[in-house]
Amino acid sequence: MDTAAGTLTKYRMYIDGQWVEPASGNYFESDNPYLGKPWALIPRGNAADVDRAVQAARKAFTSGEWPKLNASKRGALLRKLGDLITDKSRFLAEIEVRDNGKLLAEMSAQTAYMAQWYYYYGGLADKIEGTVIPTDKPDTFNYTHYEPLGVVAAIVPWNSPLLLLAWKLAPALAAGNTVVVKPSEYTSASALEFMKLIEQAGFPAGVVNVVTGFGPEVGTPLVEHPLVAKIAFTGSDATGQRIYEAAAKGLKRVSMELGGKSPNIVFDDAHLDNAIKGVISGIFAATGQTCIAGSRLLVQQSIHDQFVEKLVAFARTAKMGNPMDLDTQVGPVTNKPQFEKILKYIDIARGEGAKPALGGARATRPECGDGWFVEPTIFTGVKNSMRIAQEEVFGPVLAVIPFKDEEEAVAIGNDVVYGLAAGVWTQNMRRAFVMAERLQAGTVWVNTYRAVSYLSPFGGYKRSGIGRESGQEMIKEYLQTKSVWISTATEVPNPFILR
Ligand code: NAI
Ligand code: MG
């Protein structure tokens, strides 16, 4: 599918089982953030492409092979896809790294692990059982079963493109839906490469489609398309809100994961060396570009200075450079607007009176070349009311806030509009349980950070989202319940009253 256009790799979209040109005939460049220059040409989709993909997905949902497959057979297809991912995980990781600059060390593990979502939901596909309800009505039999929704739109961002797609695609397909994928305009290549595996696994044409392009040109018509039944979205809360409003007009279902401003809370009774590693992994892993970034460090006053000093010393040793090198620890920022946004937030923090204890600028180390690198940055003297403590920066910028006691840690921890995750570092068991209970977050980690699994529900409180991903229960977000009543009466009773 790839043809050389100069030195750039040119992609086509995947609609109805075909590799197609965009209706507009136009392409846009996708950049390699490490080099700070383009490497691929991506089709610039529009409403016509969206309509074509949604019509194909609707057709695949209602006729042809897909609706005839029983759940066990759908599961088998998903497990086959899992095997193909396992074989190709290194290749997929390299595409991701070229396009979004995350570390190969992390992405190769992530693309391999991603297969688990397809295995898990493949296994779950034929274990969704309805119930027989012992009703109070005489001579009736009532049972429930679950049916798919129809066409699902999966809209994903650039930080973990294929993993976040897996979180949506695997349960959506296991449930029997069909899907139109819209990847981020910054990282579209991996979703298109992934469609080769969808093809190889043997999914019928139209069951999974990819339309590439920009939010207003592809995302908006996709969300508004009358044949789309549900939107599964990961991204910013601003875009999430816009999608929610548009979905409301069509009374469509939504599930959304919208980022956060998660507190990583260190008590004076913590194992401090482990806590330092946990704080580092919360904010500098993935160059801070994760929804679960522990971007607020809350440290107990009694250990504040000592902890910050050790943290700064550790963070200072982070090796920056080529994300393809396995010993690189901090890679570039995925895209130029994001790079500029992070630098702007660094200025805002300074303006608000926060003090950079480390970093606070673009990284100009020789190993960073022309890439979009930001120095790992730690701000002290932060008040929780400052913008640097309230707004999602999505970069390697940590805001350190001291607290007195448990009560204050909870108050500060919860005093943001978000509630995606929280970290707690303590060796006191009572405190661990109390904090886990009192923090308003969809995930709480105690003495660890950034642990996620296909087995465990993930999602946000407050402005961090609606619904959950992963785990058994969430497959219901891709299903609707039908209640069937069967009368065994020999005669129909009085028709003028409700029974
Ligand atoms: P975004 O939330 O605007 O984009 C995510 C996806 O939504 C992309 O595929 C985009 O094309 C699509 N989209 C944009 N507008 C749309 C619309 N009106 N209707 C339907 N789809 C639409 O995020 P963006 O612009 O890439 O990054 C902006 C900020 O979002 C970042 O600076 C970061 O703070 C945050 N972000 C949060 C993520 C998270 O996982 N929580 C992931 C990526 C970004
Ligand atoms: Mg890119």
Name the residue ranges covered by the structural domains of the chain. Answer: 2-258+464-483, 263-446
Query: Which of 193, 217, 291, 392 is labelled catalytic?
Result: 291
Distance 6 CA to ligand 1 centre (A): 30
Pairing of strands 377-380, 397-403: parallel
Q: What is the pLDDT of residue 94?
A: 98
Q: In whole angstroms, what is the distance from residue 460 CA to residue 60 CA?
A: 32
Q: What's the 234 CA to ligand 1 centre distance in angstroms?
A: 7
Q: Which residues of the chain fall below pLDDT 70?
A: 1-6, 499
Is residue 257 part of the annotated active site? The answer reads yes
Angstrom distances, CA of residue 317 to CA of 313, 325, 343, 369 = 7, 16, 21, 19
Domain covering 2-258+464-483, topology: Aldehyde Dehydrogenase; Chain A, domain 1 (3.40.605)
Per residue in 41-91, pLDDT (tens digit) is: 999 999 999 999 999 999 999 999 999 999 999 999 999 999 999 999 999
Nearest CA to ligand 1 atom 40: 291
Residue 334 burial by Cβ neighbours in a 10 Å radius (0-12, 13-18, 19+): buried
Per the annotation, the verdict on 291 as an active-site residue is yes
Pick the CATH number of 263-446 from 3.40.50.300, 3.20.20.150, 3.40.309.10, 3.40.50.1980: 3.40.309.10
| pTM to 2 decimal places | 0.97
Cα 183 to middle of ligand 1, angstroms: 10
pLDDT at 6: 62
- β-strand partners of 299: 266, 402
Ligand nearest to the CA of 186: 2
Name the CA dihedral angle for 220, 161, 78, 478, rounded to a multiple of 10 degrees.
-40
Q: Output the pLDDT for position 286.
A: 96
